[in-house]
């Protein structure tokens, strides 16, 4: 039985195909349209998924949409009822959109299905999950657990912004929810906006900025903005927020409360912005820890599954894991709305149709999240040659050795191998790699390759078997969703003068043996690399270790600021020629920048809207 | 030679008509939504609030032990055939 899951029309559209409970393919629409967080109907992602299974839409038994549009519309109306006469501008914009098309999503989806597969009664084959049920299903069913507590947290779905559920076998029972407008995701987004970053994409910048600041506003936030109960449940004081009635999420009263104006995106980052980031991060961690502790105590279950946009907060995830209230924590790598497509398909298969889970879900059911398109070597060589690339091809051992040597020589390497990742993180299939030992690599990659703010840390990809030698962590983190410190013996203490440095200047101080991936608080966002799930990436890091003694590489997504991660060999070549990546390795093709025609260089800066 | 210029002026006219119709459409929509929002929805909202309705749970609950909303037993599973 095949089920196609869809998420669309709000943020980061995606499609996923599940066959007999196994995830066959999944991809975000943005990767094909090259439009970051594209929220359009995911026709390219659908075409890819069907092509991967070698079927047309008529080969699909059910299509499952990731939320319930009419419940969402009801919530909108209730919101205006709670605030009218305030909020007309927002009401007008929402109604234009809803009465124009969103209200008729079922009809639209049926019409699109009919075009692709006429002759089917799509009315009975189209299913609608709930937003948080989709997240919960995406977190539990691919997890390695038979039984688990499932906690989902995001901005908002229909009504729920947070949900707690129990997963047992092929069943999920939703226990309780926190409803709109009380939302941890929207709270974090309001601060993201106030600090001058873009909502729905800048949240991870706030998380990256937090270690630079002091959490001196925590008590003020707890006293005025969010009321948190002992069990972690919360309500937001809507006097501080604009999202119910206006179009901006950060209320003007934030400026009064924190005695600082909202930062415009082009303004310099100051100490107070770092303190605000540190404060909202600390509040978020406090709420998440209270939630997980109370759920652990209440249920007695020792496994935890997380999903929803807040579950991408890997600093909080790391603290939940170290807190020890759960023995094992599994986070869906596509924790945001894109992953809802996968969750909707799995919910349909197991919950609606009552089908059992696959007998083996080890290490998990996500195949390393390598669920996107792949290209064979002949096709890669042909497509790159057509793009004007000058390349050499090598056998597997040689390509690994050449790449490892380039990395050891402190060159930035574009690494394009196998199936593209599903979810926001590059995990060694569409990655830019570099030597983490270099004291200048973080700054170089940020400013010359990624064209983004230099305060943001990079993540280490480390061999699973070596992780405990380098980090205060000895488990699996294949999806880069847990943060832990560099081990003490590899840290370098800062001098008194260095400690006095302010903000980003501190970043340039060498703080460990692997400075390019060590944040200023000695933390790192770890990806453990496993021989079973990504043998080629594992072989590359192993070879780098043989050359240098270091089993760690810098791993950042293969894109520049504001660009979706590359999908095809042509995307990779374009990004390579538009940035200062030194070497590009696509399959078994090896490309050096200095050998490429200067006429093919392109100015990539300004091509994409900043994220 | 006169045909292209006729076609050109026809295009300009069509574009102008399009803009005018869109502006009228926007105005009608604005009027209709304003009447609904201020004439229907707002009085209803005020009445409901006076009657103590707080669907969004905007009031703080210092005496409450929790802000979790229990999912009723009958609603712990969802019916995926429905949009609501």
| Catalytic residue, candidates A11, A132, A519, A538 | A11
Question: Cβ of A92 and B44 within 8 Å?
Answer: no
Do A437 and A564 fall within a single domain? yes
Asked, for residue A265, whether it belongs to a domain, the answer is yes
Q: Residue A251 pLDDT > 70, yes or no? A: no
Question: Cβ of A74 and B84 within 8 Å?
Answer: yes
Q: In the structure encoding, which two tokens stand for residue A471, read together?
A: 């980090």
Spatial separation of the C-alpha atoms in residues A177 and A161, rounded to whole Å: 7
Q: Residue B4 pLDDT > 60, yes or no? A: no
Question: Cβ of A229 and B41 within 8 Å?
Answer: no
Average pLDDT over residues A579-601: 96
Asked, for residue A172, whether it belongs to a domain, the answer is no
Spatial separation of the C-alpha atoms in residues A305 and A478, rounded to whole Å: 15
**Residue A24's Cα: distance from chain center in Å?**
20
How confident is the model at residue A454, as a pLDDT?
67
Q: Residue A423 pLDDT > 70, yes or no? A: yes
Question: Cβ of A82 and B41 within 8 Å?
Answer: no
How confident is the model at residue B3, as a pLDDT?
53
Q: Residue A116 pLDDT > 60, yes or no? A: yes
Q: Residue A290 is part of a domain; what is its CATH number?
A: 3.30.420.40
Identify all chain A residues contacting B46, using CB atoms and an 8 Å cutoff. Answer: 84
Give counts: helices (H), strands (E), chain B.
Answer: 2, 1
Question: Cβ of B42 and A106 within 8 Å?
Answer: no
Spatial separation of the C-alpha atoms in residues A332 and A240, rounded to whole Å: 32
Domain ranges (residues) in chain B: 2-57
Cβ-based neighbour number of residue B8 at 10 Å? 10
Asked, for residue A428, whether it belongs to a domain, the answer is yes
Do A429 and A311 fall within a single domain? no
Do A25 and A8 fall within a single domain? yes
Do A424 and A573 fall within a single domain? yes
Question: How does residue A503 score in pLDDT terms, banded at 50, 70 and 90?
Answer: low
Q: In the structure encoding, which two tokens stand for residue A63, read together?
A: 């299509």
Average pLDDT over residues A113-126: 87
How confident is the model at residue B1, as a pLDDT?
46
Active site residue A182: no
Q: Are A36 and A564 in contact (CB under 8 A)?
A: yes
Tens digits of residue pLDDT in A130-141 = 999 999 999 999
Do A286 and A358 fall within a single domain? no
CB–CB contacts below 8 A, A to B: 121
How confident is the model at residue A610, as a pLDDT?
66
Do A536 and A596 fall within a single domain? yes
Taking each helix axis from N to C terminus, what angle separates A69-83 and B42-50, rounded to the nearest 10 degrees?
Answer: 70
Q: Residue A415 is part of a domain; what is its CATH number?
A: 3.90.870.20
Would you call A256 an interface residue with chain B, using a CB distance cutoff of 8 Å?
no
What mean pLDDT, rounded, does chain A reach? 94
Q: Residue A52 pLDDT > 70, yes or no? A: yes
Question: Cβ of B60 and A235 within 8 Å?
Answer: yes
Identify all chain B residues contacting A229, using CB atoms and an 8 Å cutoff. Answer: 64-67
Which residues constitute the domain of residue A436? 377-465+529-600
| Residue A384 DSSP label | H
Q: Are A315 and A303 in contact (CB under 8 A)?
A: no
Identify all chain B residues contacting A127, using CB atoms and an 8 Å cutoff. Answer: 80-81
B33, B61, B71 member nearest A174 (Cβ): B71
A82, A127, A351 member nearest B58 (Cβ): A82
User: How far does B13 lie from chain A, in Å, by closest CA?
Assistant: 27
Percent of chain A with pLDDT over 70: 98
How confident is the model at residue A229, as a pLDDT?
97
Do A105 and A247 fall within a single domain? no
Helix segments in A363-466, DSSP class H: 377-386, 396-408, 441-444
Identify all chain B residues contacting A235, using CB atoms and an 8 Å cutoff. Answer: 57, 60-61, 67
Do A321 and A342 fall within a single domain? no
How confident is the model at residue A249, as a pLDDT?
55
Q: Which residues 17-76 of A are in CB contact (within 8 Å) with B?
A: 64, 68-71, 74
How confident is the model at residue A436, as a pLDDT?
97
Q: Which residues 179-198 of A are in CB contact (within 8 Å) with B?
A: 179-182
Q: In the structure encoding, which two tokens stand for residue A351, read together?
A: 């919950």
Average pLDDT over residues A234-260: 86
Partnered with residue A4 across adjacent β-strands are A17, A63
Spatial separation of the C-alpha atoms in residues A29 and A373, rounded to whole Å: 12
Question: How does residue A391 score in pLDDT terms, banded at 50, 70 and 90?
Answer: very high
Do A206 and A113 fall within a single domain? no
Question: How does residue A99 score in pLDDT terms, banded at 50, 70 and 90?
Answer: confident
Q: Of A570, A535, A527, which Cα lies nearest the Cα of A425?
A: A527
Q: Which of B49, B68, B75, B81 should be substituted to probe chain A, the one whose Cβ sees the most A Cβ atoms within 10 Å?
A: B68
How confident is the model at residue B10, as a pLDDT?
82
Greater confidence (A116 vs A482) lies with A482
Question: Cβ of B56 and A181 within 8 Å?
Answer: yes
B41, B71, B78 member nearest A177 (Cβ): B71
Q: Which residues 145-164 of A are in CB contact (within 8 Å) with B?
A: 164
User: The dihedral of CA A262, A244, A160, A178: what is its sign?
Assistant: positive
How confident is the model at residue A452, as a pLDDT?
74
The CA angle A117-A121-A122, to the nearest 5 degrees, is 70
Identify all chain B residues contacting A181, using CB atoms and an 8 Å cutoff. Answer: 56, 58
Identify all chain B residues contacting A79, using CB atoms and an 8 Å cutoff. Answer: 56
Q: In the structure encoding, which two tokens stand for residue A227, read together?
A: 């009321």
Q: Are A487 and A552 in contact (CB under 8 A)?
A: no
Spatial separation of the C-alpha atoms in residues A600 and A577, rounded to whole Å: 7
Average pLDDT over residues A79-105: 90
Question: Cβ of B68 and A348 within 8 Å?
Answer: no
Tens digits of residue pLDDT in A480-491 = 999 999 999 999
Pairing verdict, β A234-236 and A226-228: antiparallel
Question: Cβ of B69 and A95 within 8 Å?
Answer: no
How confident is the model at residue A74, as a pLDDT?
94
Give counts: helices (H), strands (E), chain A.
Answer: 22, 21
* Burial environment of residue A54 by CB neighbours within 10 A (0 to 12, 13 to 18, 19 or more): exposed
How confident is the model at residue A24, as a pLDDT?
96
User: How far does B51 lie from chain A, in Å, by closest CA?
Assistant: 12
Q: Of A213, A279, A283, which Cα lies nearest the Cα of A520?
A: A213
Average pLDDT over residues A78-102: 91
Q: Residue A362 pLDDT > 90, yes or no? A: no
Do A451 and A595 fall within a single domain? yes
A128, A234, A244 member nearest B67 (Cβ): A234
Q: In the structure encoding, which two tokens stand for residue A329, read together?
A: 């924590």
Tens digits of residue pLDDT in A525-574 = 999 999 999 999 999 999 999 999 999 999 999 998 889 999 999 999 99
Identify all chain A residues contacting B58, using CB atoms and an 8 Å cutoff. Answer: 82, 181, 238
Question: Cβ of A178 and B67 within 8 Å?
Answer: yes
Tens digits of residue pLDDT in A187-212 = 999 999 999 999 988 999 999 999 99
B55, B64, B81 member nearest A78 (Cβ): B55
Lowest mean pLDDT of A78-82, A225-229, A504-508, A552-556, name the range: A504-508
Would you call A129 an interface residue with chain B, using a CB distance cutoff of 8 Å?
yes
Spatial separation of the C-alpha atoms in residues A241 and B83, rounded to whole Å: 29
Percent of chain A with pLDDT over 90: 82
Cα–Cα distances in angstroms (integers) from residue A452 to residues A440, A562, A610, in the given order: 15, 9, 9
Do A342 and A456 fall within a single domain? no
Question: Cβ of B69 and A83 within 8 Å?
Answer: no
The SS3 assignment for A590 reads strand
Per-range mean pLDDT, top range of A91-95, A197-201, A349-353: A349-353
How confident is the model at residue A515, as a pLDDT?
94
Asked, for residue A87, whether it belongs to a domain, the answer is yes
Do A295 and A358 fall within a single domain? no
Question: Cβ of A176 and B71 within 8 Å?
Answer: yes
Question: Cβ of B78 and A351 within 8 Å?
Answer: yes
The number of distinct structural domains making up chain A is: 3
Average pLDDT over residues A382-410: 97
* Burial environment of residue A376 by CB neighbours within 10 A (0 to 12, 13 to 18, 19 or more): exposed
Question: Cβ of B69 and A177 within 8 Å?
Answer: yes
How confident is the model at residue B77, as a pLDDT?
80
How confident is the model at residue A233, as a pLDDT?
98
Average pLDDT over residues A208-227: 96
User: The dihedral of CA A75, A77, A78, A80: what is its sign?
Assistant: positive
Identify all chain A residues contacting B80, using CB atoms and an 8 Å cutoff. Answer: 64, 127-129, 347-348, 351-352
Identify all chain B residues contacting A94, using CB atoms and an 8 Å cutoff. Answer: none
Average pLDDT over residues A142-151: 97
Q: Of all helices (H) and strands (E), which one includes residue A571?
A: helix A569-578
Tens digits of residue pLDDT in A55-74 = 999 999 999 999 999 999 99
Minimal-distance CA residue of chain B relative to A83: B45
Asked, for residue A353, whether it belongs to a domain, the answer is yes
How confident is the model at residue A293, as a pLDDT?
98
Chain B contacts to A (CB-CB under 8 A): 29-30, 33-34, 37-38, 41-42, 44-46, 48-49, 54-58, 60-61, 64-71, 75-78, 80-84
Identify all chain B residues contacting A355, using CB atoms and an 8 Å cutoff. Answer: none
Greater confidence (A609 vs A539) lies with A539
Lowest mean pLDDT of A159-163, A279-283, A404-408, A504-508, name the range: A504-508
Would you call A103 an interface residue with chain B, using a CB distance cutoff of 8 Å?
no
Lowest mean pLDDT of A227-241, A250-264, A595-609, B3-17, name the range: B3-17
Q: In the structure encoding, which two tokens stand for residue A216, read together?
A: 């001196």
């Amino acid at each position: 039985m095949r089920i196609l899951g869809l998420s669309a029309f709000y943020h980061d559209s995606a499609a996923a195909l599940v066959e007999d409970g196994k995830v066959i393919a999944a991809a975000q629409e943005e990767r094909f349209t090259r439009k970051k967080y594209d929220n359009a109907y995911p026709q390219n992602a659908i075409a890819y998924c069907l092509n991967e299974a070698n079927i047309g839409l008529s080969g699909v038994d059910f299509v499952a949409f990731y939320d319930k549009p009419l419940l969402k519309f009801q919530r909108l109306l209730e919101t205006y009822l709670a605030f009218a006469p305030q909020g007309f501008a927002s009401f007008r914009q929402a109604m234009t959109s809803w009465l124009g098309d969103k209200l008729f999503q079922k009809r639209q989806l049926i019409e699109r299905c009919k075009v692709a597969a006429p002759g089917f009664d799509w009315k009975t084959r189209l299913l609608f999950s709930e937003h948080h049920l989709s997240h919960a299903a995406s977190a539990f069913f691919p997890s390695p657990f038979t039984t688990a507590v499932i906690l989902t947290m995001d901005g908002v779905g229909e009504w729920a912004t947070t949900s707690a559920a129990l997963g047992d076998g092929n069943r999920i029972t939703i226990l309780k929810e926190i409803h709109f407008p009380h939302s941890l995701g929207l709270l974090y987004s309001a601060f993201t906006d106030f600090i001058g970053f873009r909502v729905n994409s800048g949240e991870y910048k706030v998380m990256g900025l937090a270690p630079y600041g002091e959490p001196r506003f925590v008590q003020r936030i707890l006293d005025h903005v969010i009321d948190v109960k002992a069990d972690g449940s919360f309500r937001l004081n809507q006097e501080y927020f604009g999202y119910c009635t206006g179009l901006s999420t950060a209320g003007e009263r934030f400026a009064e409360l924190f005695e600082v104006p909202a930062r415009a995106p082009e303004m310099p980052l100051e100490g107070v912005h770092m303190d605000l980031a540190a404060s909202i991060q600390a509040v978020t961690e406090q709420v998440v820890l209270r939630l997980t502790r109370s759920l652990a105590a209440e249920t007695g279950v020792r496994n935890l599954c997380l999903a929803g946009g807040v579950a991408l907060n890997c600093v909080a995830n790391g603290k939940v894991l170290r807190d020890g209230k759960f023995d094992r924590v599994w986070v869906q790598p596509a924790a945001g709305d894109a992953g809802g497509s996968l969750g909707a398909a799995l919910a349909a298969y197991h919950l609606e149709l009552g089908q059992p889970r696959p007998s083996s879900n080890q290490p998990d059911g996500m195949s390393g999240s390598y669920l996107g398109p792949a290209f064979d070597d002949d096709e890669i060589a042909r497509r790159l040659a057509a793009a004007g690339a000058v390349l050499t091809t090598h056998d597997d051992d040689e390509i690994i050795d050449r790449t490892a040597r380039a990395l050891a020589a402190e060159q930035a390497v574009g690494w394009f191998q196998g199936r593209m990742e599903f979810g926001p993180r590059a995990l060694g299939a569409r990655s830019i790699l570099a030597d983490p030992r270099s004291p200048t690599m973080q700054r170089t990659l940020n400013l010359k390759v990624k064209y983004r703010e230099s305060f943001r840390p990079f993540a280490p990809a480390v061999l699973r078997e070596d992780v405990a030698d380098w980090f205060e962590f000895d488990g699996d983190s294949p999806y880069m969703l847990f943060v832990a410190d560099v081990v003490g013996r590899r840290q370098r203490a800062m001098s008194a003068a260095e400690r006095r440095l302010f903000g980003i200047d501190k970043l340039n101080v060498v703080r460990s043996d692997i400075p390019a991936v060590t944040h200023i608080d000695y933390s790192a966002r770890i990806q453990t690399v496993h021989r079973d799930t990504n043998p080629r990436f594992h072989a590359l890091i192993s070879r780098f270790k043989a050359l240098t003694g270091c089993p760690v590489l810098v791993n950042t997504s293969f894109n520049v600021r504001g660009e979706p991660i590359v999908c095809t060999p042509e995307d990779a070549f374009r990004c390579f020629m538009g940035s200062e990546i030194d070497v590009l390795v696509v399959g078994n093709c090896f490309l050096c920048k200095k050998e490429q025609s200067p006429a093919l260089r392109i100015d990539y800066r300004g091509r994409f809207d900043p994220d | 030679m006169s045909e292209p210029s006729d076609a050109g002026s026809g295009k300009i006219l069509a574009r102008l008509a399009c803009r005018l119709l869109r502006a009228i459409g926007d105005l009608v929509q604005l009027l209709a939504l304003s009447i609904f929002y201020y004439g229907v929805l707002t009085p209803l909202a005020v009445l409901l609030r006076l009657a103590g309705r707080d669907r969004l749970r905007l009031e703080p609950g210092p005496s409450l032990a929790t802000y979790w909303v229990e999912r009723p037993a009958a609603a712990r599973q969802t019916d995926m055939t429905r949009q609501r």
